[in-house]
Amino acid sequence: MSLKSDPHYTLSSSELADWVESQPDKWWGVYGDDEYWLMAIDSPCPSDELAPALRRAGKDILVWDNTPGSKARGERIKADRLPSLAYYGKDRHNMTFVMAWADSDRVWEFVEDEALVP
């Protein structure tokens, strides 16, 4: 799967870092990013550990838009749009995002880990 051919938006990793930091009580998991920057952190982790790693990455991120009929083709968004792009799996009650680095075809998940939220 490549997000470049599916409906998606573009978000800077620093914008995502700011959004993550604005939610200091949450923990986040990054699953499947085995070729880039976020492998250096333990996942899941608290917001204050993830945000600096996102800033160091300094890359654009593609965010899948699962809205039926979406015509999104990479338009740049701000992080305040993220909650509307989250999906919730059958057994999950937490925000899940399908993402990819803009310079890669590898897809990864960015997941709110509510089991670890204090």
Tens of pLDDT, residue by residue over 31-80, are 877 655 565 566 788 889 889 989 988 999 999 999 999 999 999 999 99
Query: Is residue 115 over pLDDT 70?
Result: no
Sheet of 27-31, strands arranged across: 45-46, 27-31, 107-112, 96-101, 60-64, 8-12, 73-76
Q: At what angle do helices 13-21 and 47-57 cross, to 10 degrees?
A: 170
Pairing of strands 96-101, 107-112: antiparallel
Is pLDDT larger for residue 34 or for residue 99? 99
Supply the pLDDT for residue 57: 87
Q: Which helix or strand (DSSP H or E) is residue 75 part of?
A: strand 73-76
Supply the pLDDT for residue 39: 56
Supply the pLDDT for residue 91: 64
Domain count for the chain: 1
Q: Which domain holds residue 55?
A: 3-116
Query: Is residue 14 over pLDDT 60?
Result: yes
